[in-house]
């Protein structure tokens, strides 16, 4: 229990002002005030100092809160890491919570993803995770993993666990969790995972994580559009902890990016569609907003929105056009996924488009990690 909100209002300090002074996010502060999160002792002292009130008066059970202290640093592994979406997301979450995180192991089988990851994080991910013994992985506190979605995606063949090369990789996550016993995990996959095989796939995942491995588990379908990114990208987030928790999946995001924030000003001619394609599309459709992303579905119908439809590995380049005239650049696609502009592009445009299409929405996953970590330890 705490009296943060009471003392803050007495001093006419806004949530934004207090959060800035403490060095945490407004969202996290809101959860502390509503008794939905227990801050670390370090953060509790910072809040008390900012309010100019003795810590014992602000936090009734601060002595007990020490029992909820986080590891220093929080060690995590990054499975099926791609180009580092979880790495960026966790870094954002750790900083907002005033915590330190350290990646002790990463893995991805794609050599081009390995190149991009190494260029941006200074370490080359291990290759095929199926050939890695769980015992050889360093001890860690949290597992992050966006296990391959093609086996469950509508764009794929939806073979699920029958896809021996990709669908069964979830069980590699399970065997690593069983061996290493981390405190928590955060997993990401496509929307169709929940309905695949009439719900049997998700049932198997839950039975494995909850019944066989003994974790408390929850999941939710989220949309990147609701987290400040101008991309309609629906993804399932699965979270689990050894400690019982009740996750609040309602997020309030203040800052939202628009296409104006995403689109580059000077674009190479190679990204423009041919005059014939542009003329044909504009004869079929007229946009009501500018800028917009034009989307052509499999039936040839065209629609336009002030945001992008979901990026797809390999396909986005041809079915999404900016203002009906040009394709998205690799940098724009990375921005749509929440990657910072200092992300180094070290592979071809073709590979970067594929990587962006396979990536997670950084801002969305960061918000989930930030909130979940306060409940997982």
Q: Spell out the SS3 assignment of 40-75.
A: CHHHHHHHHHHHCCCHHHHECCHHHHHHHCCCCCEE
Burial class (CB in 10 A: 0-12, 13-18, 19+), 190: buried
- 44: nearest Cα among 29, 34, 30: 29
> For the chain, what are the domain ranges?
4-66, 71-254+358-376, 259-355
Three-class SS of residue 241?
A: strand
Specify whether the backbone of 296 is left (phi greater than 0), alpha (psi in -120 to 50) or beta.
beta
**pLDDT tens, position by position, 284-300:** 999 999 999 999 888 88
Per CATH, 4-66 and 71-254+358-376 having the same topology is answered no
CA 94 to each of CA 23, 52, 72, 76, 376: distance values in angstroms, whole numbers, following the listed order:
11, 25, 11, 12, 14
Q: Kindly list the averaged pLDDT for each block of 10 residues, start to end, along the chain of length 377.
A: 90 93 86 80 84 84 55 96 97 94 97 98 96 97 84 46 57 95 96 83 89 92 97 96 89 92 95 93 93 90 94 75 95 97 96 94 97 92
- 219: nearest Cα among 230, 227, 209: 209
Note the CATH number of domain 71-254+358-376: 3.40.50.150
Backbone angles phi, psi at 184, to 5 degrees: -155, 170
Does the structural domain 259-355 have CATH classification 3.30.499.10? no
Point out the residues that are catalytic: 149
Three-class SS of residue 229?
A: coil
Q: Which CATH number among 1.10.260.40, 3.40.50.10860, 1.25.40.420, 3.40.640.10 corresponds to the domain 4-66?
A: 1.10.260.40
- Residue 315 has what pLDDT? 62
How many whole angstroms separate alpha carbon 95 and alpha carbon 117?
Answer: 21
């Amino acid at each position: 229990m705490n009296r943060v909100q009471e003392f803050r209002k007495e001093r006419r300090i806004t949530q934004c002002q207090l959060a800035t002074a403490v060095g945490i996010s407004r969202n996290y502060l809101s959860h502390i005030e509503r008794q939905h999160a227990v801050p670390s002792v370090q953060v509790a002292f910072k809040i008390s100092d900012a309010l100019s009130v003795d810590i014992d008066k602000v936090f009734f059970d601060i002595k007990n809160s020490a029992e909820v202290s986080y590891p220093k640093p929080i060690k995590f592994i990054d499975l099926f890491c791609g180009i580092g979406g979880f790495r960026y997301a966790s870094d954002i979450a750790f900083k907002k919570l005033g915590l330190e995180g350290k990646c002790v192991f990463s893995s991805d089988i794609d050599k081009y993803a390995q190149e991009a990851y190494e260029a941006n994080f200074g370490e080359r991910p291990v290759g095929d995770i199926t050939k890695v013994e769980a015992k050889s992985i360093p001890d860690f506190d949290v597992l992050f993993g966006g296990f391959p979605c093609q086996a469950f995606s509508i764009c794929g063949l939806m073979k699920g666990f029958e896809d021996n090369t990709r669908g069964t990789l979830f069980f590699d996550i399970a065997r690593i969790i069983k061996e290493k016993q981390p405190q928590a995990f955060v997993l990401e996959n496509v929307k169709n995972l929940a309905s695949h095989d009439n719900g049997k796939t998700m049932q198997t995942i839950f039975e494995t994580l909850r019944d066989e491995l003994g974790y408390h588990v929850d999941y939710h379908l989220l949309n990147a559009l609701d987290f400040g990114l101008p991309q309609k990208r629906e993804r399932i987030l699965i979270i689990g902890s050894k400690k019982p928790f009740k996750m609040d999946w309602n997020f309030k995001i203040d800052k939202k990016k628009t296409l104006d924030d995403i689109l580059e000003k000077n674009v190479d001619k190679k990204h423009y569609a041919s005059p014939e394609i542009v003329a044909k599309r504009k004869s079929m459709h007229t946009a009501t907003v500018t800028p917009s992303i034009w989307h052509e579905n499999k039936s040839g119908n065209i629609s336009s929105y002030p945001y992008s439809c979901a990026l797809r590995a390999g396909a986005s380049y041809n079915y999404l056009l900016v203002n009906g005239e040009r394709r998205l650049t690799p940098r724009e696609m990375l921005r749509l996924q929440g990657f910072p502009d200092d992300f180094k592009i070290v592979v071809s445009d073709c590979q970067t488009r594929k990587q962006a299409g396979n990536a997670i929405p950084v801002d969305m996953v960061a918000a989930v990690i930030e909130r979940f970590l306060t409940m997982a330890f």
